[in-house]
A and B are shown apart, each in its own frame.
Chain A
């Protein structure tokens, strides 16, 4: 384990950024979000960013292919240039876990080469939580907020930052940083973890569980009459899906640039009325069905197809951001009673 004084953290960032792009959570016009580090950019005190870290591997919009049109001729251009190496620093335990879920979608055959390319080039440095919020429920999915996954993991105490590598990529990064850090034991980290676990035990959602949901209850859950009241107030906006670290649906669209076409993909939301729209219409014609789809996917379909892994990491973003305060916790608690 390595250690560096918090007063020297900008030097640490400078050292990382010397070779590759570094992104840290910082405040942008009052909102915490990952921003490219440049001299002077400070880390936010906020628990988590509004948008998750999935943007780095699965950005909100991305060009897939370009068509250059001149007169009557069309030329097809692959817009990808070799992605540069980058480090995402300060990713919380919940967000780090989201990648193992996204990997199960994008890295199975046929592989999503755009996602894969970025995964290859990216190094994740996670950050343990010490002050979780009432909306947190990552433990529901077996995540330890005090011991995150990631290529390397950090703990921030009053005065120091502790860091440890988990993977080869992490080792490589630490190798570079070793000269400016000092080797140390893990006592301080252990102490913080103990305290964090104590706090986690006091959180209101401490006992929340999704255990009862799996493929076996599919029809029962699907046909529950609770969906009507649960979805009644849903505005059909995409807030929950867009702040979610595990939502992975996208749409592919063409943009006419005037001298060609850019075929790009962008995040889609199952809450939208034009989600999976086909020539014959949308298979889910009501907001109830669209609302149900999102929670069925996370609580039932995904675990049924992925060895019992839920499509949620308990980051709590949807709990604080939904305009009508409807969320996976309320849905699961309500439906649970039926099982």
Chain B
């Protein structure tokens, strides 16, 4: 029989205002096994913790029940407290009488009754608790960064700087991501390439950083400190170690009409290509969908012109397996597809472009060499209309319910740059709200309006219709003036909402990291642990966690790096002792548990058993690797004989809770 102490917390008035804490401790004091019960204003405070520690010593408590806030809040705190006086930390249970009781009920009698029941359930469980010992597992001193945009680059460089090996996996032929496509950055208007490319180069030159470009993660096994990751290096048909990046092949390839994705299809590239001049690694890649040699076996021109002999048409996809202690997700974003927004005529008119396309049209390395020209006829546009919130803050189901956060600022940037370079151009911006919360952001926006004379109009664009003469009719409402506007525009720029990259969802499944309904990765705590995933050892960097601009991305990237470094410097991790275990005497060796284990933690051994009739029998029985098991409990239900059970959440413990709850 346990000697149990019950500690009821008032949480100031958070609990005490709705729950009669005195009645709770008085009633629970009478429960079988309870030798001490009390209540106190703040159990989590130092004096509250001392109260618990003193009672453990004075009454020789073998089990502790805390009736307080959610165990997700302070279970760890209390476990540490009881451990400090020698009680096994797993001999403690928390009854959640705040979030799941006092805060949701108004009737004091009902809430008190419920608090007592929840306390009883915790007592019933603790009666059956057994001391558990946390194990230890080593940490592999290497990190993986998935995604080679500015977020991934910054994280990787910071980790490398601390002296740890770090690998970047990037699915494109080059790292750089979206930032490489951007012309200027707000609010400073400095050139994106000028600040990004040195970091890209640093990545290639830092011997702690290894870049797997044109590669994808195909499987992730293991757990914090000890992940095993398979990386598929897609065949680029060019030997990376031989290619000098001279670019000769990319000028000789006869396949000239391949849409250039770096320029968002606004111009063409060859079948063999280097995405852009500062690409890292600067290595050519053959696009197998267009290469005649790969498709029909006819051509081979690039191989002929390559003096380095780097072309290898027989190259195969290669799968590399590598072990890591930590994984950072930096998979970034894409603008949403605009097919659904028929009113903006994006797919019909070449002169209706997205903001990212506009970036390329204004970039010196872009398709127009930096001169802003209409994609349809190459003429200078004189009237440009910007439409904000295309698919953002959209609850109609067409777009995204969230604010994409960066559009207000980059549109101000675009408007300003156009007015600066082409003062004869009229610029209209239709917005719902202009959001500028950031250092020097509002000042930047005001400059666009006041100094550059950009026409900001609060209102919605109802219809964008191209006319036969090349003009685009924009029909909009001005909500402040309460009038309908008809603007003859030369170009329309849509601030398309951004969404997480499509590769994120399957990756999340592989990582067992959770996502929200918009496919952004969920953080372990929205305020207190914003760069960690709830899955231990998985960290978040950049827009994969939520929309953010470059400065925010970089700070989060560094924060994630700091967390990774903190993990990698740890010699050993303590493992969760709440893992499955097999009662070999009852195990049938049927493999049901093994089949449902997501971690491969269960293996089988042939063991000799002494049977009741004094004979020995060789039997196949399951064995759980406690370092690999994460304690989900799937196996415990798959096992028909009940040989599999879970520490901390055993069948008998859960049934005792059920009993206690249903009792009265």
Give the residue name and chain of the A residue nearest to B661 (CB): A258
Question: When each residue 155-184 of chain A gets 1 if its CB lies under 8 Å from chain B and 0 otherwise, what string results?
Answer: 000000000000000000000000000000
Binary contact readout A270-293 vs B (1 if CB under 8 angstroms, 0 otherwise):
000100000001100110000000
With a CB–CB cut-off of 8 A, which chain B residues contact A285?
Answer: 611-614
Verify B31–A71 contact, CB threshold 8 A. Answer: yes
Contact indicator B614/A69 (Cβ below 8 Å)? no
A256 touches which one: B30, B659, B664 (CB < 8 A)? B659
Q: Any chain B CB within 8 A of the CB of A72?
A: yes
Task: Chain A residues near B664: list those with CB within 8 A.
Answer: 259
Question: How many angstroms from the CA of A256 to the CA of B32 in the assembled complex?
Answer: 14
Give the residues in chain A near B663, CB-CB below 8 Å.
Answer: 258-259
Give Cα A258–Cα B662 distance, bound, in whole angstroms.
8
Nearest CB in chain A to that of B28: its residue? A71
Is A286 in contact with B659, judged by CB distance below 8 angstroms?
no
- Within the complex, the shortest CB–CB distance from A205 to chain B, in Å, comes to 34
A258 to chain B: which residues have CB within 8 Å? 659, 662-663
Measured CB to CB, the closest approach of chain A to B112, in angstroms, equals 17
> In chain B, what residue has the closest Cβ to A73?
B30
Residues of chain A within 8 A (CB-CB) of B659 are: 256, 258
Whole-angstrom CA separation of A258 from B614 in the bound complex: 39
Nearest CB on B from A227, distance (A): 14
A71 near B30: Cβ-Cβ < 8 Å: yes
Rounded to whole angstroms, the CA-CA distance of A286 and B615 in the bound complex is 10
Instruction: Tell me the B1-49 residues at the A interface (CB within 8 Å).
Output: 30-32
Residues of A within 8 A of B613 (CB): 285-286
Q: Is the interface of B mostly helix, strand, loop or mixed?
A: loop
Question: B612: which A residues are within 8 A, CB to CB?
Answer: 273, 281-282, 285
Q: How far is the CB of B123 from chain A (nearest CB, A)?
A: 12
Is A71 within 8 A of B32, CB to CB?
yes
Which B-chain residue is minimally distant from A281 (CB atoms)? B612
CB atoms of B662 and A69 under 8 A apart: no
- A258 to B31: give the CA distance in the assembly, Å: 13
Digitize A238-272: 1 where CB-to-B-CB distance is under 8 Å, 0 elsewhere: 00000000000000000010110000000000000
Residues 607-664 (chain B) with a chain A CB within 8 angstroms: 611-614, 659, 662-664
Closest to A273 in B: B612
The CA-CA distance from A273 to B586 in the complex, in Å, is 14
| Cβ–Cβ < 8 Å partners of A286 in chain B | 613
Given A282-B612, A285-B613, verify A72-B30 contact (CB < 8 Å).
yes
Which B residues lie within 8 Å of A72 (CB)? 30-32
Which residues in B have their C-beta under 8 angstroms from that of A71?
Answer: 30-32
Interface bracket on B = 10 to 19
Chain A nearest CB: distance from B34 CB in Å?
9
A92-113 at interface with B (beta carbon < 8 Å): none
Q: Which residues of B contact A282 (CB under 8 A)?
A: 612
Cα distance, A285 to B32, chains bound together (Å): 38
CA distance A278 to B563 in the complex (A): 57
A274 → B minimal CB distance (Å): 11
Complex: chain B residue closest to A282, CB-CB: B612
State in angstroms the CA–CA spacing of A282 and B612 once bound together.
Answer: 8
A44-92 contacts to B, CB under 8 A, are 69, 71-72
Closest to A256 in B: B659
Q: Which residues of A contact B30 (CB under 8 A)?
A: 71-72
Q: How far is the CA of A308 from the CA of B463 in the complex (A)?
A: 107
Q: How far is the CA of A72 from the CA of B662 in the complex (A)?
A: 19
**In the complex, what distance in Å separates the CA atom of A282 from the CA atom of B613?**
9
In the complex formed, the residue of B with least CB distance to A69 is B32
Q: How far is the CA of A286 from the CA of B613 in the complex (A)?
A: 6
Bound together, the chains give a CA A256 to CA B664 distance in angstroms of: 14
Question: For the complex, what is the distance from the CA of A285 to the CA of B612, rounded to whole Å?
Answer: 6
State in angstroms the CA–CA spacing of A259 and B120 once bound together: 13
Give the shortest distance, in Å, between A176 (CB) and chain B (any CB). Answer: 48
- Shortest distance from the beta carbon of B232 to any chain A beta carbon, whole Å: 54
Q: In whole angstroms, what is the CA distance A302 to B86 when docked? A: 60
Cα distance A285–B663 in the bound complex, in angstroms? 39
Which residues of the other chain, B, contact A259 by a CB distance below 8 angstroms?
663-664
Interface string of B569-585 (1 = CB under 8 A from A): 00000000000000000
Residues in A with CB closer than 8 Å to B31 are: 71-72
| Assembled-state Cα–Cα distance A258/B661 (Å) | 10
In the complex, what's the smallest C-beta–C-beta distance from B310 to chain A, in angstroms? 73
Q: Give Cα A258–Cα B664 distance, bound, in whole angstroms.
A: 8
Q: Taking CB as reference atom, which chain A residue is nearest B656?
A: A256
A71 to B30 Cα, complex, angstroms: 5
- Residues of B within 8 Å of A273, CB to CB, are 612
Nearest A residue (CB) for B660: A258
Query: Nearest Cβ distance between residue A82 and chain B, in whole angstroms?
Result: 31
In the assembled complex, the CB of A323 is this many whole angstroms from the nearest CB of chain B, namely: 21
Chain A residue at minimum C-beta to C-beta distance from B611: A285
Most buried by A among B31, B611, B612, B614: B612
> CA A69 – CA B660 in complex, angstroms?
13
B491 to chain A, nearest CB (A): 75
CB-CB < 8 A to B614: which residues of A?
Answer: 285
Min CB gap B29→A, angstroms: 9
Task: Report the minimum CB–CB distance from A273 to chain B (whole Å).
Answer: 8
Q: Name the B residues within 8 Å of A69 (CB-CB).
A: 32
How far is B662's CA from A259's CA once the two chains are assembled, in angstroms? Answer: 11
- A286 CA to B612 CA in the complex, in Å? 8
B119 to chain A, nearest CB (A): 13
Binary CB contact string for chain B from 407 to 420 against chain A (1 if under 8 A, 0 otherwise): 00000000000000
CA distance A273 to B32 in the complex (A): 34
Task: Please report the C-alpha to C-alpha distance between residue A256 and residue B655 in the assembled complex, in whole angstroms.
Answer: 12
- In the complex, how many angstroms separate the beta carbon of B614 from the nearest chain A beta carbon? 7
CB distance from A262 to the nearest CB of B (A): 14
Q: Which residues from 117 to 143 on chain A have a C-beta closer than 8 Å to any C-beta of chain B?
A: none
Which chain B residues border A281 with CB–CB below 8 Å?
612
Shortest distance from the beta carbon of B523 to any chain A beta carbon, whole Å: 42
Counting chain B CB atoms within 10 Å of each CB, which of A69, A258, A259, A282 scores highest? A258
A285 to B613, CA, bound (A): 5
Provide the B354-392 mask, 1 if CB < 8 A to any CB of A, else 0: 000000000000000000000000000000000000000
- CB B642 to nearest CB in A, in angstroms, measures 16
Cβ contacts under 8 Å, A256 to chain B: 659
Taking the closest CB of chain A, its distance from the CB of B5, in whole angstroms, is 15
Chain A's closest residue to B27 (CB) is A71
Alpha-carbon distance between A282 and B614 when the two chains are bound, in angstroms:
12
Instruction: Give the complex CA separation of A283 and B363 in angstroms.
Output: 90
Of all chain B residues, the one with the shortest Cβ separation from A71 is B30
Q: What's the nearest-Cβ distance from chain A to residue B615, in Å?
A: 9
CB distance from B127 to the nearest CB of A (A): 12
| Residues in A neighbouring B32, C-beta threshold 8 A | 69, 71-72
Contact sample, A vs B, 20 pairs, CB 8 Å cutoff: A69-B32, A71-B30, A71-B31, A71-B32, A72-B30, A72-B31, A72-B32, A256-B659, A258-B659, A258-B662, A258-B663, A259-B663, A259-B664, A273-B612, A281-B612, A282-B612, A285-B611, A285-B612, A285-B613, A286-B613
B interface vs A, CB < 8 Å? 30-32, 611-614, 659, 662-664
Beyond A69-B32, A72-B31, A259-B664, list 16 extra A-B contacts (CB 8 Å): A71-B30, A71-B31, A71-B32, A72-B30, A72-B32, A256-B659, A258-B659, A258-B663, A259-B663, A281-B612, A282-B612, A285-B611, A285-B612, A285-B613, A285-B614, A286-B613
Q: Which residues of A contact B (CB under 8 A)?
A: 69, 71-72, 256, 258-259, 273, 281-282, 285-286
Give the 9 A-B CB pairs with smallest separation, nearest first.
A71-B30, A285-B613, A285-B612, A258-B663, A286-B613, A258-B659, A72-B32, A281-B612, A72-B30
